[in-house]
Amino acid sequence: MEYIDYYKVLGVKKDASEKEIKKAYRKLARKYHPDVNPGNKEAEKKFVQINEANEVLSNPENRKKYDKYGKDWMHAEEFEKAKQQRRQYSGRQGGQTYSSFSEEDFSDFFSSMFGGGFSGQTGSRRARFKGRDYNAELHLNLTDILKTHKQTITVNNKKIRITIPAGVRDGQVIKIKNHGEQVGEGGINGDLYIKFNIENNTAFKRDGSNLYLTLDLDLYKAVLGGDFVINTIDGKKVKLKIKAETQNNTKVKLRGKGLPVYKKEGQYGDLIITYSIKIPTNLSPKEKELFTELSKLR
């Protein structure tokens, strides 16, 4: 496996903080995202490397392994376990602790494992290694998740057609088995993890499957009542019946007018509307006179 300097990929120093790594990743992900560079193979390759680098360096445990073992960091646990077994084996054979199996021997150890195990052990034990998991991010608008649909994405220069479930959440990660690193016979292919970044391109506020909307009402409609037509998130129009003497911050619930419930076909959240009553400004002398008369009646 070719060594990739993930610090260099993100353009940060080896002692960079988590905040600095996150900032660098976001900046580069926006720059090299496939949607911004359609058909640009170099940008696609760079985008994959950026995601791989972020996967490792943004996770403290993974970063620690990477700093110690480099390109073979994902197999650090196997190495430590094997080193312990060699110590125990040597102790049983000669009463001495095996100490020369150092971190510098890791790559040789890794190759020998693929070749059939350790020499010195009874019999031959073949290790099955799992390929690296790939990580990718998919940017969608909130209106893109109203229905389950399929979309083709490019990961590591390979096109993969995936199903995007309706109602998927922002930051949610789904796993697609066997679409990570391909390791061939005797090994287990890695998996692909896709993180969804959902951008709200609407006036609604999302909370799970429910949507919230603040609706401005003029004073006259709040006092006298009337009809008000709004568009729901799917573009359909709904007529609201405003009750006379509606108070500020009154809430009404439209059942089933929210987002689809994730992986629950036919179920939807609610739309909760809050009325915000706007007091008229720049009153004319006549209007002020009329309000004065009203105040006397009260």
Count CB-CB contacts under 10 A for residue 101.
19
For the chain, how are helix, strand and coil distributed in percent, rounded to 5?
35, 25, 40
Name the least confident of 43-47, 201-205, 231-235, 264-268: 43-47
pLDDT at 119: 38
| Residues 163-192: tens digit of each pLDDT | 999 999 999 999 898 888 887 666 788 889
Distance CA 119, CA 57 (A): 35
User: Residue length, the chain?
Assistant: 298
For the entire predicted model, the pTM comes to 0.56
Half-sphere exposure of 283 (CA within 13 A, CB side): 11
The SS3 assignment for 25 reads: helix
Q: Are the C-beta atoms of residues 187 and 131 closer than 8 Å to each other?
A: yes
pLDDT at 98: 42
Count CB-CB contacts under 10 A for residue 225.
13
Distance CA 228, CA 239 (A): 6
| Residues 227-255: tens digit of each pLDDT | 999 999 999 999 999 999 999 999 999 99
Question: Is the pLDDT reported for residue 44 higher than 90?
Answer: no
Q: Where does the pLDDT of residue 29 fall: very low under 50, low under 70, confident under 90, or very high at 90 and above? A: confident
Q: Does residue 173 or residue 128 have the better pLDDT?
A: 173
| Residues 62-74: tens digit of each pLDDT | 888 888 877 777 7
pLDDT at 109: 52
Dihedral angle over CA of 108, 113, 118, 121, nearest 10: 170
